[in-house]
A and B are shown apart, each in its own frame.
Chain A
Amino acid sequence: MSWPSNYPDSPDDDKTLTETRSAASSPSGLLKDFKVGFTLAIKNILSFGLAMVGILVVTILLLLAILLFIAIPLLFTLGIPFIITLIETISTGFTGSTGLTLVLLIMFLVLPILGPFFIALGSLFGMAREIVESDGTLAESAFSWYGKRGLSLLGGGVLHVMITLAPLIVAFLAISYPTWNPPTNTELRIIITLIVIWIILVNGMLSLTFPGIIDGLSVFRAAGRSVKLTCKFPGRVLGAWFIIVLLTGVLILPIINELTILWMPFIPQRILEMYRPIAIVALLFIIIPAVSIILTRIYMILTAKVDATYTQDNGGE
């Protein structure tokens, strides 16, 4: 038994919805993501700036706390001679060991140091979520996300690193086991190309992990959702990611000392020196916030499209 609708929808409603959906996945949608991302990042530069400074301080304090947490008990229980021996062992490990030992040693040292930075980066995605969803945020919000989603964000960062480094580790182990067997120059060129493609592609596919964690998903579900969304909307996710990589690359390549020789013929040294601090400030206070806003926006739109709750308001605000 059905009941007549006493407030019938316009016959064009479904058509309009389909049109707005297709519009959202078109290149203009991508352009809008960047336009909105940079506009909102600049509009909220003060909040982001203060949050970045605050988070940096907290991150450094957290790193110190981690070091102290490890160092002090070691110092009291095992004594200074043991610490010296440990440092010597680690140094020997770097020079003497090959293969799995070296990989584990690097992971053991690198991951705890990177941990606080992952949480800090994730907190920016929390701020971005507030901006994209409610058109504003406060610097203190970053700390709120830092506290509430800290562990998940840490897990997200570790997962990113592990997946990114996995083939590199396998390649390294293959080269170093059973004996060190360095690749030829041609092989090296192929390996480096494949590694660069892998790093860009896999990080693109996982680029929506942090927005997913901020949305309340667990690390693995967020990563899974990111990959699924990329497979469903490759143009929107990977397109945005490639533009982000390109923009960041163009901005930071000239400030890398080792590559100065590439820029010398085109950019005078004096301008290059002036450019460096500007590029770092732009990267920290505009590009990174804009990227977090862009990715959050894409995540929210694409998940809404998947859940069939997406509409586009064509009227004025």
Chain B
Amino acid sequence: MNPKLSKKAIKEFEVVTNIKVIKLLLDGTRKDIVFKYLVNKPMTVKQLSVAMNKKPGTVLHHVQKLKSVGIIVLVETRETPRGIVERYYRAIAREFRLGISERMSAYDESTVPPKDRVNATLLGLSTLGVVITESEFKHARTILQKLIDRETEMSLVYNTPKNHAYQRLPQSTRRDVSQRMLQFLLSQDEVHQKILSEWNGIIAYYLKKTSSELA
């Protein structure tokens, strides 16, 4: 039986940049523990060992390593009537990205981009004609960061551990539901509208500039 209540909120997203942690996650068993099982639901060492057909001792060693670097957390300790003390572990996020460009995820797309991708996004926009000058880069970065922060903040309104039915949705459905709900919430949010307008102004300015240069 899995716990009904997860006391710590699961993040939608986590970027792993520490090389030590990335190396740790490249191990086959640990990769399976995190990306195949613990991103989906909390599980005990015994459940993991049964699911993976491995010795509990081996799984426990891997789980302890993952816990020590903060990739997984202990969410519940349940004492069974027979006296076994089951510890339920869960990944800290539903999706992990290794570094900036590489990614290992439970699904392909995400609604909330991580902060570390702001620079990459700004540089990537140049491929679409939005070539931000070096002097304006910092300003554009601040605006985009604000936009992302606001979106993340709004997504936390509904993405709480207490919304059990939502948390139990299949990942792809949850992603779609999240996208639609976030879209609605953001359209109602004045703060977001203000930042978005500023951001759109930057995009429009640089697109116009590129067009005039080409002409």
CB-based contact B84/A132 at 8 Å: yes
CB-based contact A301/B67 at 8 Å: no
Q: Is B201 an interface position by the 8 A CB rule?
A: no
Q: Is B186 an interface position by the 8 A CB rule?
A: no
How far, in Å, is A16 (CB) from chain B's closest CB? 11
How far, in Å, is B41 (CB) from chain A's closest CB? 15
Summarize B's interface: helix, strand, loop or mixed.
mixed
CB-based contact A317/B80 at 8 Å: yes
How far, in Å, is B201 (CB) from chain A's closest CB? 27
The count of chain A contact residues (Cβ–Cβ below 8 Å) is 46
Q: Is B164 an interface position by the 8 A CB rule?
A: yes
How far, in Å, is B112 (CB) from chain A's closest CB? 16
Q: Is A164 an interface position by the 8 A CB rule?
A: no
CB-based contact A215/B79 at 8 Å: no
Q: Is B23 an interface position by the 8 A CB rule?
A: no
CB-based contact B60/A134 at 8 Å: yes
Contact of A133 among B60, B76, B162, B166 (CB under 8 A): B60
Q: Is A138 an interface position by the 8 A CB rule?
A: yes
CB-based contact A35/B87 at 8 Å: no
How far, in Å, is B120 (CB) from chain A's closest CB? 30
In whole angstroms, what is the CA distance A119 to B44 when docked? Answer: 27
Chain B hits for A228, CB < 8 A: none
CB-based contact B81/A216 at 8 Å: no
CB-based contact B57/A144 at 8 Å: yes
Contact of A309 among B1, B4, B76, B84 (CB under 8 A): B76
CB-based contact A138/B5 at 8 Å: no
CB-based contact A313/B81 at 8 Å: yes
Name the residue in A1, A32, A315 with the highest tally of chain B Cβ atoms < 10 Å from its Cβ.
A1
Residue of A nearest to B56 (CB): A134
Find residues 44-99 in chain B having any chain A CB closer than 8 Å to their own CB: 44-46, 49, 55-61, 64, 67-68, 74-87
Contact of B45 among A134, A141, A303, A317 (CB under 8 A): A134
CB-based contact B5/A133 at 8 Å: no
Q: Is B110 an interface position by the 8 A CB rule?
A: no
In whole angstroms, what is the CA distance A237 to B158 when docked? Answer: 42
Q: Is B165 an interface position by the 8 A CB rule?
A: yes
In whole angstroms, what is the CA distance A309 to B160 when docked? Answer: 17
CB-based contact A309/B83 at 8 Å: no
CB-based contact A137/B74 at 8 Å: no
CB-based contact B157/A141 at 8 Å: no
Given contacts A135-B84, A304-B77, A313-B78, contact A5 B57 (CB under 8 A): no
Would you list the 10 A-B pairs with minimal beta carbon distance, nearest first?
Answer: A36-B83, A304-B77, A7-B164, A134-B56, A134-B46, A141-B57, A300-B85, A5-B162, A7-B165, A3-B158
Q: Which residues of B contact A (CB under 8 A)?
A: 1, 3-5, 7, 44-46, 49, 55-61, 64, 67-68, 74-87, 157-158, 160, 162-166
Can you list 26 A-B pairs with a CB-CB distance of less than 8 A? A2-B157, A6-B165, A6-B166, A7-B162, A8-B162, A9-B4, A24-B79, A35-B83, A36-B83, A39-B83, A40-B83, A130-B60, A133-B46, A133-B56, A133-B60, A137-B56, A141-B55, A141-B57, A144-B57, A300-B85, A309-B74, A310-B76, A311-B77, A312-B78, A313-B86, A316-B81
Q: Which residues of A contact B (CB under 8 A)?
A: 1-3, 5-9, 13, 24, 32, 35-36, 39-40, 126, 129-130, 132-138, 141, 144, 148, 215-216, 297, 300-301, 303-304, 307-317
